[in-house]
Amino acid sequence: MDIELVNTLTQRTNESQILSLRDSLEKCQKFVADFPELVPRYQLAKQVIRAFRRPAFYEMSQRCNLWCEGCYYFENKNRIEVTHEPRQTEWESFFDTEHSRNVTMGYFVGAEPALEVDRLRAAVGRIPYGKIGTNGTIRIDSDIQFRIGISVWGDEETDTSLRGGSVLRKALRNYQGDPRAIMLFTLSPWNLHTVPTVLDACRDHGLPVTFSMFSPTHTYLDKIRRQTPADSQFYRIAATKGAPVFTPDDLDRTSDILSLAMETHPDIVLFSDAYREWITRPGPLYNIDQETGIANDCGSRIRGALRYHSTGLQPAAVKCCTPDVDCSECRLYSGSWSSQFRPAPEYLQTVQTFRNWLDMIEVLGRIFLYPLPPAYDELVARQ
Ligand code: SF4
Ligand code: SF4
């Protein structure tokens, strides 16, 4: 793995960070030299990481057809609102420029990108890998060959209460058997009981599943703290029910549920044990800057090579793709997975912990990349 690549991805810039990164890479190489059976897995990790060497976020739409409780996008009192959005030809020229900039991975986010399918189409052929975050209620045409991550919030009853309708049912119907699709189930203390039902439904529709964890915005938490009366938009339930934040007990329960999900549905659940342990540990997951309250070491921070463009097609100076989410409560899958490119010291202790890191990178690739890099086929052929 080359040091500049990981340095770019992890946004390490100063001398001591580069030295520590070099040390990590040397340790990786030593494990591979001592255990040659790891060579194909390490090659695969390098291919996966290389696919993310120049990533960018693109906000494709400022509209959505749903009203989800605590929405990370609309429950943001400082949201950038673009009043005059560019025409289609300008989106095409914009992605030409992004192509010239050698962007390798586009994260197409919203509000709801499926409402702007021509904009998505403008990125096809210009950005090699893409990951679209959608609610799944509007099917994205099959000529848009990017990974499609479909947000899931629970079973029919939970969907109706938290999102105002049968979102999962529509998404399953729209994407049954679609190789681009992966279901992204956002767990919260309010929906943990629905995991078995949702997993069975996804299995029956030939769809893989991974998990994120609900992470509230400052706007939402402030409303709860101030006991603001409920409104009819994105703050309907917490006014009486309280914040859906994870207590240490909730985290233990979540960890158990995730273990069980991997055990009962190994054919469709994309997760890893090491990642489960990391994402469910108590306290902030990140090193939080005491002055700003922002995570110093989150891989989703918009800095270095990583950019965020609003629907005005201008780079936006935001901390990450969910700028109002409270970093100290954040367990979103975007920040969590993108913080794994560089193996943390705990994964470089023994060959087993190094294997755990390789597991994570393999799962990360399966979640974000479509089609999968050739190293996946080579690995399967060797087994
Ligand atoms: S689908 Fe996403 S953007 Fe739309 S309301 Fe729900 S959480 Fe917000
Ligand atoms: S993704 Fe990272 S920067 Fe964004 S809210 Fe979460 S921890 Fe903070």
What local confidence, expressed as pLDDT, does residue 5 receive?
A: 62
The single-letter DSSP state of residue 314 is S
Q: What is the pLDDT of residues 130-165, one digit of tens each?
A: 999 999 999 999 999 999 999 999 999 999 999 998
Per the CB < 8 A criterion, the answer to whether 334 and 321 are in contact is yes
Contacts of 210 (CB under 8 A, 6+ apart): 182, 183, 184, 185, 269, 270, 271, 333, 363, 367
- Could you tell me how many residues make up the chain? 383
Nearest CA to ligand 1 atom 3: 111
For ligand 1, atom 1, the nearest C-alpha belongs to: 135
Helices marked H in 74-217: 88-100, 117-123, 156-163, 167-175, 195-204
Give the pLDDT confidence of 201-217 residue by residue, as tens digits: 999 999 999 999 999 99
- Provide the CATH number for the domain formed by 55-340 in this structure: 3.20.20.70
Q: Tell me the best of 65, 76, 151, 321 to mutate to test the pocket of ligand 1, counting ligand atoms within 8 Å of each CB and taking the most.
A: 151
- Residue range 305-358, pLDDT digits in tens: 899 999 999 999 999 999 999 999 999 999 999 999 999 999 999 999 999 999
| φ, ψ dihedrals at 210, nearest 5° | -130, 180
Amino acid at 370: Y
Neighbour tally for 229: CB within 10 Å: 9
How remote is the CA of residue 72 from the centroid of ligand 1, in Å? 7
Estimate the crossing angle of helix 374-382 against helix 351-368, to 10 degrees: 130
0.75 exceeded by pTM: yes
Q: State which of 301, 308, 339 you would mutate to test the pocket of ligand 2, scoring each by most atoms of that ligand within 8 A of its C-beta.
A: 301
With a pLDDT cut of 90, the percent of the chain lying above it is 89
In the reported structure, the alpha carbon of residue 74 is separated from the centroid of ligand 1 by a whole-number distance in angstroms of: 8
Is the beta carbon of 112 within 6 A of some atom in ligand 1? yes
Whether residue 72 is predicted with pLDDT greater than 80 in this model: the reply is: yes
- pLDDT exceeds cutoff 60 at 12: no
| Structure confidence at residue 80 as a pLDDT band (50, 70, 90) | confident
241 CA to centre of ligand 1 in angstroms? 20
Q: Domains of the chain: which residue ranges?
A: 1-52+352-383, 55-340
The single residue listed with the structure tokens 């309907």 is 236
What does the mean pLDDT of the chain come to? 94
Ligand 2 centroid distance, CA of 174 (Å): 30
* Closest ligand to residue 233's CA: 1
Residue of minimum CA distance from atom 7 in ligand 1? 71
Ligand 1 near 330 CB (within 6 A): no
Q: Report the separation in Å between the CA atom of 136 and the middle of ligand 2, taken as the mean of its atom positions.
A: 24
Strand-by-strand arrangement of the 307-309 sheet: 209-213, 181-187, 147-152, 129-134, 105-109, 55-59, 307-309
CA distances from 72 to 5, 15, 51, 213, 355 (A): 30, 36, 27, 12, 34
CA dist 369 and 73 (Å) reads 24
Q: Does the Cβ of 288 fall within 6 Å of ligand 1?
A: no
